[in-house]
Structure 1
Amino acid sequence: MSPTGWALLGMLSGGEEMSGYDIKKWINWAIRFFYSSPAYSQIYSELKRLERLGLVSSRVDAGVRSRRMYKITESGLAAVTRWANEDPVEAPTLKHNPILRMMLGHLLKPGRLREILAGHAAYAEQLQQAAATEVRWTSEQPAWSYARLALKWSEQYYAAERELALQMIKDLDAAEEAFGEAGREGVQFPMPEYWYEVERRIAAEDTPGVEDPSA
C-alpha cells in the first residue's frame, strides 16, 4: 500500500460513496494543506488497485453523467483502521525550495532572494487564508471535529511560514554584508575539510570523557 492509497481509504472511511472527482475535490478542500495532492490519474489508478485488493467496491452510476462510485468494504475499513493505529508514523519529508535557494544564495543575482522570499510569503498568506476559510466552514459539522483540528494546524503553519519568510527578508542585509566581507572570489562551498572537523568536534561533545581534538 502506498501512502496515497491509505489516504484514499481514509477519505472513504466515512462510508459514503464517492467518485474519483469527489475525492480529488475533497483533497483540494482540506488535505492539500498538509499532504501533497495527487493527480487525477494517480487517484484513479490507486482506486483500481484498492478494488483489486478487495478494500473498496465500485459501481457505475448511470445518471446524467455516467461515473464510477467507490465505497469502502469491511476489509478496507479494518485495514485502514489498523494502519492508522498500528503502523509507524513516518517523519515529514520537507522539500523547501525557497530555503534551498537561500542555501545557494551566493549564486543568485542581487535582489533575487528578496523576490523569492516575498513570493513565498505571499503564497503562505494565500494558503493561510484558504485554510482559515475551511476551518470556518467545518465548524458546523461535528463529524469534522478532527479534520477541523488538522485545518487549524494548517492555518497556523502557513502563518508561521509567512512570518519566517518576512523575517528572512529583514535578515538578508546582514547576511549580504557578512558575505561581502568574506569576499566573493574563490568561494569554496561546502568546504569538506571544515565540515569533517565540525563533525569530529560534535562527536567529541556527544561522547563523555572525549576531549575536543582541537582544544
Structure 2
Amino acid sequence: MARPSEPPGSEPPGERLPATAWAVLGVLSFGEGLTGYEIRQWAEHILRFFYWSPAMSQIYTELKRLERVGYAESHLGTAADGRSRRVYTITPAGRDALTGWVERAPVEPPVLKHGTALRVWLGHLATPERLRQIVTEHRDDAQRLLEEAEYSRSYAASVSGWAYPELVARWATRYYAAERDLADQMLADLDELLASGRAVPPAGTPTRASG
C-alpha cells in the first residue's frame, strides 16, 4: 500500500522485493564482488543451514531483480584461467536499502513443515518398522547437518569480519542437535506406544479382512 502522502505506485522498489532477494543482497554486503556461482557457494556454506539453499536459476533471477532496482551492479571480469566472468557487487543504494530492511521490516515467523512429523501423525497407516525407519533417517540427517554446520562455524570463526555468520552457524549446530535429540525421543515414544497397546487405528478406519 502506498503511503498517504505519495501517489499510488511510488513505494521505494525495495518494499516489493521478496526475502530471497534480500538474502542474495546480504551475501553481496560482505564486501566482495562475486559471481552467481560464488554466491551459490556462500549459500551452501552457511545460508542453507537457517534459510535457503537456492538453485543457480533462482540466484540469477534475484540478481537481475536487484540490478533492475539499482541495488546491485555487475561487470565482466577475467578469471585466472582467462575466461570471462560476470561479477556482482552491492551498490551504495543497495546497502542503504538492506540496512533499512534489517532495521525496520517486520520479521516473518518461521514456517514449520516437518515431513517426518507429518508421517508419524499418519502412523495408523504405516507399520511400526516403517515409522522407525523414517524417524531414524531423520535423526541421522540431523546429525550429519550438525557436523556440517559445525564445520561452517569453525571456518567462519577464523575469518575476520564474520563474527555474525559464526554466531548463526553456532545457532544452527544447536538447532540440529536439538532436532537429533527430538528424533531420539520420538523413537523412544514409539516404542512406549507400541508396548502400551494404544497404537490402534482411529474409529471407522477400514481393517484388512482376515484370510
TM-score category of the 2 structures, normalised to the smaller one: 0.7 to 0.9
Contact 2:43–2:52 (8 Å) recurs in 1 = no
Instruction: Could you tell me which runs of 5 or more consecutive residues in structure 1 were left unpaired when the two chains were aligned.
Output: 189-215
How big is the alpha-carbon RMSD for the aligned residues of Structure 1 and Structure 2? 1.6
- Distance in 2 of aligned mates of 1:40 and 1:8: 12
Q: How does 1:89-108 map to 2 (within 5 A)?
A: 89-108=107-126
- Secondary structure of the residue aligned to 1:36 is coil
Contact 2:139–2:184 (8 Å) recurs in 1 = yes
Moved more, 133-142 or 28-37: 133-142
Task: Give me the TM-score of the superposition, normalised by structure 1.
Answer: 0.82
2:130 to 112, 117, 136: 112
Name the structure 2 match of 1:179.
198
Name the structure 2 match of 1:144.
162
Instruction: Report the alpha carbon displacement of residue 187 of structure 1 after superposing the two structures with TM.
Output: 3.7
Name the structure 1 match of 2:145.
127
- Does residue 153 of structure 1 match 2:171? yes
Name the structure 2 match of 1:169.
187
Q: How does 1:196-211 map to 2 (within 5 A)?
A: none
- Does residue 43 of structure 1 match 2:59? yes
Stretches (4+) displaced over 6 A: none
Matched AA of 1:179: R
Task: Give me the TM-score of the superposition, normalised by structure 2.
Answer: 0.84
Name the structure 2 match of 1:30.
46
- Secondary structure of the residue aligned to 2:198 is helix
Instruction: Report the alpha carbon displacement of residue 178 of structure 1 after superposing the two structures with TM.
Output: 4.3
Matched AA of 1:171: D
Matched residue pairs, number?
187
- Distance in 1 of aligned mates of 2:147 and 2:38: 23
Matched AA of 2:156: T
- Distance in 2 of aligned mates of 1:43 and 1:93: 22
Instruction: Report the alpha carbon displacement of residue 185 of structure 1 after superposing the two structures with TM.
Output: 5.9
Contact 2:149–2:169 (8 Å) recurs in 1 = yes
Q: Percent identity?
A: 45
Instruction: Report the alpha carbon displacement of residue 183 of structure 1 after superposing the two structures with TM.
Output: 5.5
